[in-house]
Amino acid sequence: MYAIHATALAILACLVITSQSSAAEGNPARGQRVFGACAACHSLQPDQNMTGPSLAGLWDRKAGTLESFSRYSSALKSANVVWNEKTLDDWITDPQQVVPGNQMTFPGVKDAKQRADLLAFLKQATQPGSQIAQQGAPMGGMGGMMGGGQAPNLKKLDASDRVQEITYCKDTYVVTTANGDTHKFWERNLRLKTDASSDGPEKNAPALVAAGMMGDRADVIFAEPGEISAFITVKCG
């Protein structure tokens, strides 16, 4: 009887250990879906920075050291943190706990299984030459609804997306596109931006990009700041 009991305990212990190991390893396919919420701010392409730095080559990189990213907080630049399974798991759980005072506006993922899945995906997707990174990751969470994520390439624009003229009167911007269409926006709903990256618009050919969920908001994206005032004319009537 003792031998049977001991054998049963051993089998149970083995099952528990195996289950814990599987959970710790994570599932990259599920993790790719979890990454959808991260894709609003982070690219997997090398040096393609967004709100946050590119995650390409993340593993074993010291925090705050990607040379192509210039918006690190002082807290992150001075942190003595190297990214690996342990530090990333802690960071994804609660960024402020790992590096107090950092500027990442992310509450953390509290579910250990989701974190394990996300880390399994990231470990594959951030490696040099990763096919996953080249294929891109799905959007999810608020980023997908609010127009975040991978920025569109604005070098070649349809006439309906290429801004010809912007006029301003009282509290309204009127944007005229190259196909002759006009779009009216309350001044707080039109954002004027620049994109000097390889995906940004050609000079003097700003792009009109829809934003928000109601069709009442948009971005006009210029190649450089000096173009903005040249495109806007104060005109009423």
Cα–Cα distance, 170 to 44 (Å, whole number): 42
Average pLDDT over residues 23-47: 88
Report the CATH number of the 2-145 domain.
1.10.760.10
Amino acid 215: pLDDT: 75
Cα–Cα distance, 136 to 125 (Å, whole number): 9
| Domain boundary assignment for the chain | 2-145, 163-234
Amino acid 99: pLDDT: 96
Question: What's the pTM?
Answer: 0.66
Q: How far is it between the farthest Cα atoms of the chain?
A: 96
Return the H-helix or E-strand segment holding 194.
Answer: strand 190-194
Bridge partner residues of 167 (DSSP): 174, 233
Alpha helical stretches, state H, the chain: 2-25, 28-35, 74-77, 85-93, 95-98, 112-125, 131-135, 141-145, 226-231
Q: Is the pLDDT of residue 172 over 60?
A: yes
Tell me what the pLDDT averaged over the chain comes to.
84
Distance of alpha carbon 8 from the chain centroid:
48
Amino acid 131: pLDDT: 78
Residues in CB range of 154: below 8 A, 6 or more apart: 195, 199, 200, 201, 207, 209, 221
Asked if residue 58 lies in contact with residue 66, where contact means CB atoms within 8 angstroms, the answer is no
Average pLDDT over residues 26-49: 92
Span 50-85, pLDDT tens digits: 889 999 999 999 999 999 998 999 999 999 999 999
Asked if residue 161 lies in contact with residue 208, where contact means CB atoms within 8 angstroms, the answer is yes
Q: Is the pLDDT of residue 47 over 50?
A: yes
Span 96-126, pLDDT tens digits: 999 999 988 888 999 999 999 999 999 999 9
**Percentage of the chain with pLDDT > 70?**
81
Distance of alpha carbon 155 from the chain centroid:
21
Cα–Cα distance, 221 to 83 (Å, whole number): 34
